[in-house]
Amino acid sequence: MKTPSGLVASPYSTFYSKTNTFKNSLAKFCISPIETILCLDHKKSMFCQLLTGLLQRDEVVRLGSIFASVLERTIKFLEDYWRELCCNIRTGYLRDWIIDPGCKNAMSFILTGPNPELADLIQQICEDKSWEGVFKKLWPKIKYISSICTGSMSQYIPLLELYGGGIPLVSPSYVSSEACFGINLKPLSNPFDVSYTFLPNTAYFEFLPVNKDGGGKAQETRTIDKPVDLENVKLGQYYEVVVTTLAGLYRYRVGDVLKATGFYNKSPQFQFVERKNVVLSIGADKTTEEDLSKAITNAKLILEPFGIMLTAYSSYSDTSSTPGRYVLFWELKMKGSNDLPKLDARVMEQCCCIVEESFDFTYKSFRKDGAISALELRVVKHGSFDELMDFYTSKGASISQYKPPCCLKSEEAIKILNSGTVGKFFSPKTMS
Ligand code: AMP
């Protein structure tokens, strides 16, 4: 897009994909032809990239995207389009809705003739009701999945682990359009325990100490001291990261809260904690992204014995009536299929209770005093969060850098999830 003064502005991944550096280096390690990567229509791009990956299944050693949200979207796409992909492989013809000349031309070198044996094999794999370990079956030489799955992306870990069937899930880096902050020097570590080692040569980094003693409230996440540089970071302390870059940012507050976990030589290592100020809020209560994520992680455990998976979530503070309440949106599916699970009201209400129990003292006391109403859980149908992603990308968000908003502010976004709602559940009116 163009800024009001006529400068071209784009997310970093868009800019980078168009450079010769990408063309001459990383692109050469990708199975997907560059024309399919650069195709502006993401449906056609995704279709051609998956088709290439299936046709050259023995060449694929790594499945990756910058953020895990894109891999989740890719899985959904495969679930919806595997029959059509098989049909293309069986007949050797590319579907006629792929009209992009770059994609058509690139695919003509890959889809060179009918291959019914391969189509049968893929069909057999995808027809299996359970897609557990499906990546390993489709791409037998796959060694690992590479995608950022810390912070708000951690909600996709269970899904990627299920479909990976034991393949390591590597969260390689901590990056943003402002700067490349750090890399993961222990790629095989548990995705929930990843620390990133800062790269001192990519920007000038400073760290604002913030008051947050693990599970602390958002109102306590505030600056408590002067910024320190890389060498003066203290282990165990929480910081907000500040960058000064060659591109012209001066002491820019990125808005991420990190926890110092170690050093590699003199370079500090950090765990990503949360985006600052992403909060649910009613009155004086503020619930942070981290509080919400922990509460939901606790609550969804009770769905596991029923074979139910939580594939995406979001929330908002509903203050349309008094007292207001927090509303959660959950997209659920059965482990082996995309079918909407049978929703047992008692179990879902228990989920609401566990979320509330996991919130902190302030929330619970407000709830007991009646200053906040019972938490509401809205279950949405399969694909609702895709619609949300489509909405944000239509407004200019980059699909490859998309972060699922864990707390919604936009009326339109709330409307989208409301229209996909298939069940509403509440915790008990009064909290014990
Ligand atoms: P953008 O520049 O729009 O792609 O967004 C960069 C933001 O993505 C960062 O400021 C973080 O909030 C988030 N992010 C990037 N890398 C990671 C990571 N490894 N873990 C968690 N969040 C990340």
Of 58, 123, 57, whose CA–CA distance to 86 is shortest? 123
Backbone angles phi, psi at 409, to 5 degrees: -115, -25
Cβ pair 337, 129 in contact under 8 A: yes
Rounded Cα gap, residues 378 and 381, in angstroms: 10
* pLDDT score for 218: 45
pLDDT in tens, 322-335: 899 999 999 999 88
Question: Ligand 1 pocket: which of 149, 171, 176 to mutate (most atoms <8 Å of CB)?
Answer: 176
Cβ pair 241, 258 in contact under 8 A: yes
Q: Fill in the DSSP letter of residue 50.
A: H
Average pLDDT over residues 211-216: 57
* pLDDT score for 177: 86
pLDDT in tens, 345-355: 999 999 999 99
Cβ neighbours for 192, distance < 8 A, ≥ 6 positions apart: 154, 157
Amino acid type, 112: T
- Bigger pLDDT: 400 or 326? 326
Ligand 1 neighbour 254 (Cβ under 6 A): yes
Find residue 196's DSSP bridge partners: 270
Rounded Cα gap, residues 431 and 138, in angstroms: 49
Cβ pair 147, 64 in contact under 8 A: yes
* pLDDT score for 284: 80
Ligand 1 neighbour 256 (Cβ under 6 A): yes
Count of Cβ atoms closer than 10 Å to residue 248 Cβ: 7
**Model confidence band, residue 224 (pLDDT cutoffs 50, 70, 90):** low
Average pLDDT over residues 136-160: 94
Residue with tokens 């699922």, as numbered in its chain:
404
Residue 215 has pLDDT above 70, yes or no: no
Ligand 1 neighbour 148 (Cβ under 6 A): yes
Q: Is 260 helix (H, G, I), strand (E, B) or coil?
A: strand
Q: Please give the model's pTM, rounded to 2 decimal places.
A: 0.85
- Bigger pLDDT: 158 or 337? 158
Amino acid type, 162: L
* pLDDT score for 213: 54
Residue nearest to atom 18 of ligand 1 (CA): 174
- Pair type for strands 325-334 and 376-380: parallel
pLDDT in tens, 133-144: 999 999 999 999
202: CA distance to ligand 1 center in Å? 15
Of 59, 29, 51, 77, whose CA–CA distance to 140 is shortest? 59
Ligand 1 neighbour 272 (Cβ under 6 A): yes
Tokens of 257: 């809260």
Question: Ligand 1 pocket: which of 12, 66, 147, 148 to mutate (most atoms <8 Å of CB)?
Answer: 148
174: CA distance to ligand 1 center in Å? 6
171 Cα nearest atom in ligand 1: 19
